[in-house]
């Protein structure tokens, strides 16, 4: 595997498309290509382009502040570029596990921030590029591309950061990436397992519910058979009982109606007879004449009494006038008293003139009138003794009162005779009324019996209506459950046999119907849903098993990778320690250098209590470097001079390349701090390593240039654009 070609366009100062060809040396070595040029010509941009196309994201390492700084920004004579693009071609000649004879990686960035990666002209992700480079043994952040200032950074970095550098240099990066991918898959599998188990827990209650519903659906057949048998017995027996009850109620109603009609007919006959009797006995004409005579006599008696009362009043007034003028009462009181007496006389006359006067009442009225009159007389009397001679009364009044008394006596005689005639007539009429009363009593008895019969008809009608209502309600219920065929109930009645109490089956029928309704209330899609849910549940169970197996397999893979990484790390560490010591002695002509693994230590708090113990299976967490130049007793690299630090860094880099050679290494002015003698040593070491590793070196050192077989010169014109000039030194030597 080696870098075959590099195309740069729009990247930093390379505004125009620039192509760098890297061919192996003719003597079988990977080759050493030197990129030279004056300061500011843009030769280090070649190293930056290689680092950038390999996926570098740190703008600090690319000597910029923001991503668009890598795009040619333009000059006064050259317009700026709209994008930056770098394509790297690698030839695969020693890695048969990669099924690619040529690997082409392209990175493209536009000014709007859109970034693109391509692998062999196909769109790819940064992760794909990183993994592919790791499989090729190339690291984008370690020794594959070592830029300005990075030589000393290896020594000044922390043990942990240094370990990352050594791990990639030891070829552990592919295994670490695989391990990280396996860990990510393991975490994803755990997440999927938790989600799947959560889905199982969520589906399980629903599946249990569906199973119960399916079981109830399976029980439906037996419940329907039992319900049909009970309905036959209930509806058949009840219809038979209702049919008999309806027939009996109808018969009772007809019998009661017949009896009521018979009594009504007899009552009509008696009413006709009674009507005929009333018409046959008209009011007697004699009774009318007697009544008229009696009325005339009473009227005459009333007139006479009225005249008598007036005369008596006059007589009393005359007596009063005949007496002395002094009176015990005021005149107004006397007049009121006399008026009251007149009113009492008028009421008495009305009571006497009635057809049948109430004798007792008349007596009471007479007594009351007599008392009032006597009281009035007593009040009108003088307190002095009675006069010796009675007062004189008008003879006309006396004569008229005598005539009235005579006429009254005659009228009383006539009234007595009329009353006797009426009594005789009443006795004759009493006999006729007695027969009439007998007919009325018989009619009343018949009417009473008719009413009783009608009540019985009403009761029979109510019973008949009640039975019919029961029948209608029963038929409505029966039609809803056993059908509306006319003969359906008759067939059920025949099948039911002599069912004693059919209504006793109603509780069980209601329960069965409720169960069937409950079952029937289940969605018909329940079976389909149950099948789908069961299938989903089984699939999730299978997924849980697969995930469990996958987790176990991934855990095994992680353990195997950990073991492989640990074994390779130990082997690489021993080789690296040995090579580092050799190259250090070679560069320093003596001295001693080694690398040490740093293991985690237990953590204690201020009280000396153990806070965090160390895992006995944990590997090293960092790398420590010790370097002692010849003639010195220094241990810490922090005490080395600048030149010593540069030589130590170069010795470390050379040891890494000797231990785990990379397909290619880009060195950007790493020899700038070396003197001429050390530069020659560095050039010699690099040349010796070029048989296994391809070197692209940006340098000013003549010794390094002399070891190169291809020399690229970078210049910059007045337009601020870097241009390239290539020279094959072997061709020059052959032609020279």
Domain residue ranges in the chain: 1-144+663-736
pLDDT digits (tens, 9 = 90+) for 265-287: 777 777 776 677 666 545 555 56
Q: What is the pLDDT of residue 9?
A: 93
Helix axes 395-482, 488-496, angle to 10 degrees: 80
1-144+663-736 has which fold?
Rossmann fold (3.40.50)
3-state secondary structure of 435: helix
Give the least confident one: 148-152, 216-220, 332-336, 348-352.
Answer: 148-152
User: If you write DSSP's letter for every residue of 25-49 in order, what string do you get?
Assistant: -TTS---EEEEE--TTSSTHHHHHH
Mean pLDDT of the 222-238 span: 75
Residue 340: how many other CB atoms lie within 10 Å: 13
**Is residue 133's pLDDT more than 60?**
yes
Mean pLDDT of the 187-215 span: 85
3-state secondary structure of 5: strand
**Non-local CB neighbours of 287 within 8 Å, separated by 6+ positions:** 422, 425, 429
User: Is the pTM here over 0.75, yes or no?
Assistant: no
**Residue bearing the bigger pLDDT, 151 or 17:** 17
Q: What is the pLDDT of residue 384?
A: 42
Whole-angstrom CA distances from 50 to 28, 64, 244 are 24, 15, 111
Letter string b/e over residues 247-273, b meaning 16 or more CB atoms within 10 A of that residue's CB? eebeebbeebbebbeebeebbeebeee
| Whole-angstrom distance, CA of residue 147 vs CA of residue 45 | 10
CA-wise closest residue to 684 among 654, 710, 641? 654
**Residue bearing the bigger pLDDT, 665 or 285:** 665
**Is residue 49's pLDDT more than 70?**
yes
User: If you write DSSP's letter for every residue of 124-149 in order, what string do you get?
Assistant: E-HHHHHHHHHHTT--TTTTTEE-TT
| Maximum pairwise Cα distance, the chain | 216
Q: What is the pLDDT of residue 105?
A: 95
Q: What is the pLDDT of residue 130?
A: 85
Letter string b/e over residues 173-209, b meaning 16 or more CB atoms within 10 A of that residue's CB? bebebbbeebeebbeebeebbeebeeebeebeeebee
CA-wise closest residue to 234 among 550, 509, 624, 628? 509
Give the least confident one: 424-428, 684-688, 695-699.
Answer: 424-428
Q: Determine how β-strand 32-36 pairs with β-strand 710-716.
A: parallel
176, HSE (Cβ side, Cα atoms, 13 Å): 18
Question: Which span out of 226-235, 612-621, 713-722 was modeled with the highest average pLDDT?
Answer: 713-722
β-bridge mates for residue 107, sequence order: 86, 117
Q: Write the Ramachandran bin of 40: left for phi over 0, alpha for psi from -120 to 50, otherwise beta.
A: left
Q: Which 3-state string (H, E, C) describes 477-537?
A: HHHHHHCCCCCHHHHHHHHHCCCCCHHHHHHHHHHHHHHHHHHHCCCCCHHHHHHHHHHHH
- Whether residue 269 contacts residue 316, with contact meaning beta carbons closer than 8 Å, is answered with no
Please compute Rg for the chain using Cα positions. Answer: 73
Grade residue 340 by pLDDT with cuts at 50, 70 and 90. confident
| Whole-angstrom distance, CA of residue 283 vs CA of residue 395 | 50
| Whole-angstrom distance, CA of residue 167 vs CA of residue 599 | 15
CA-wise closest residue to 666 among 626, 627, 697, 710? 697
Letter string b/e over residues 137-148, b meaning 16 or more CB atoms within 10 A of that residue's CB? bbbbbbbbbbbe
Give the least confident one: 254-263, 571-580, 724-733.
Answer: 724-733
| Whole-angstrom distance, CA of residue 295 vs CA of residue 357 | 12
Cβ-based burial of 306 (10 A; exposed 0-12, middle 13-18, buried ≥19): middle
Whole-angstrom CA distances from 497 to 234, 328, 533 are 11, 112, 49
Q: What is the pLDDT of residue 10?
A: 93
**Residue bearing the bigger pLDDT, 521 or 415:** 415
Mean pLDDT of the 126-134 span: 85
Average pLDDT of the chain, as a whole number:
78
Give the least confident one: 10-19, 115-124, 447-456, 562-571.
Answer: 447-456
| Whole-angstrom distance, CA of residue 600 vs CA of residue 602 | 7
């Amino acid at each position: 595997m080696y870098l075959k070609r590099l195309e740069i366009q729009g990247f930093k100062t390379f505004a125009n498309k620039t192509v760098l060809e890297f061919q192996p040396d003719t003597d079988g070595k990977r080759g050493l290509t030197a990129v030279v040029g004056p300061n500011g010509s843009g030769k280090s941009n070649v190293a930056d382009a290689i680092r950038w196309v390999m996926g570098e994201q740190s703008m600090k390492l690319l000597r910029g502040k923001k991503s668009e700084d890598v795009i040619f920004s333009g000059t006064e004579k050259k317009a700026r570029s709209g994008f930056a693009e770098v394509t790297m071609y690698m030839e695969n000649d020693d890695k048969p596990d990669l099924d690619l004879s040529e690997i082409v990686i392209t990175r493209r960035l536009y000014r709007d921030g859109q970034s693109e990666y391509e692998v062999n002209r196909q769109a790819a992700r940064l992760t794909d590029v990183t993994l592919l480079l790791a499989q090729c043994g190339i690291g984008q952040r370690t020794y594959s591309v070592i830029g300005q200032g990075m030589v000393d950074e290896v020594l000044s970095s922390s043990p942990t950061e240094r370990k990352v550098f050594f791990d990639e240099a030891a070829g552990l990066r592919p295994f670490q990436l695989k391990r990280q991918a396996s860990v990510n898959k393991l975490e994803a599998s755990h997440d999927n397992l938790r989600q799947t188990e959560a889905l199982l827990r969520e589906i399980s209650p629903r599946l249990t519910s569906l199973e119960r519903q399916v079981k109830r659906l399976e029980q439906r057949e037996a419940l329907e058979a039992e319900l049909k048998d009970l309905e036959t017995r209930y509806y058949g027996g009840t219809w038979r009982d209702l049919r008999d009850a309806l027939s009996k109620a109808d018969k009772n109603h007809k019998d009661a109606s017949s009896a009521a009609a018979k009594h009504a007919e007899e009552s009509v006959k008696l009413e006709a007879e009674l009507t005929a009797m009333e018409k046959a006995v008209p009011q007697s004409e004699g009774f009318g004449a007697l009544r008229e005579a009696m009325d005339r006599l009473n009227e005459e008696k009333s007139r006479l009494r009225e005249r008598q009362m007036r005369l008596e009043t006059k007589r009393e007034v005359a007596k009063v006038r005949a007496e002395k003028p002094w009176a015990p009462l005021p005149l107004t009181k006397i007049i009121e008293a006399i008026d009251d007496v007149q009113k009492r006389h008028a009421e008495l006359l009305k009571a006497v003139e009635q057809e049948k006067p109430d004798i007792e009442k008349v007596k009471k009225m007479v007594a009351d009138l007599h008392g009032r009159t006597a009281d009035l007389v007593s009040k009108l009397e003088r307190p002095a003794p009675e006069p010796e001679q009675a007062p004189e009364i008008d003879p006309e009044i006396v004569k008229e009162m005598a005539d009235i008394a005579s006429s009254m006596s005659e009228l009383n005689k006539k009234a007595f005779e009329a009353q006797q005639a009426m009594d005789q007539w009443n006795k004759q009429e009493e006999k006729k009324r007695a027969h009439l009363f007998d007919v009325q009593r018989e009619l009343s008895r018949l009417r009473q019996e008719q009413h009783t019969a009608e009540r019985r008809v009403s009761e029979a009608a109510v019973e008949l209506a009640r039975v019919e209502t029961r029948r209608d309600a029963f038929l409505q219920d029966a039609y809803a459950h056993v059908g509306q065929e006319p003969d359906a109930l008759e067939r059920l009645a025949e099948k039911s046999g002599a069912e004693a109490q059919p209504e006793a089956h109603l509780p069980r029928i209601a329960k069965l119907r409720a169960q069937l309704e409950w079952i029937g209330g289940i969605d018909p899609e329940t079976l389909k849903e149950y099948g789908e849910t069961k299938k989903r549940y089984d699939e999730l169970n299978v997924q849980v098993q697969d995930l469990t197996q996958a987790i176990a397999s991934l855990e095994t893979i992680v353990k195997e990778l950990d073991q492989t990484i640990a074994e390779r790390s130990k082997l690489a560490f021993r080789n690296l320690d040995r090579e580092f010591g050799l190259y250090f002695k070679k560069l320093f002509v003596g001295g001693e250098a080694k690398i040490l693994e740093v293991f985690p230590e237990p953590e204690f708090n201020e009280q000396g209590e153990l806070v965090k113990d160390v895992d006995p299976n944990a590997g090293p967490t960092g790398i420590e470097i010790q370097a002692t130049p010849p003639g010195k007793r220094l241990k810490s690299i922090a005490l080395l001079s600048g030149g010593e630090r540069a030589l130590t860094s170069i010795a470390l880099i050379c040891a890494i390349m000797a231990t785990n050679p990379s397909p290619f290494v880009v060195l950007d002015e790493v020899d700038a701090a070396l003197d001429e003698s050390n530069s020659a040593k560095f050039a010699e070491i690099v040349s010796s390593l070029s048989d296994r590793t391809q070197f692209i070196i940006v340098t000013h050192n003549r010794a390094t240039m002399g070891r190169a077989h291809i020399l690229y010169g970078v210049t910059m014109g007045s337009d601020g654009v870097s241009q390239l000039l290539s020279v094959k030194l072997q061709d020059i030597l052959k032609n020279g």
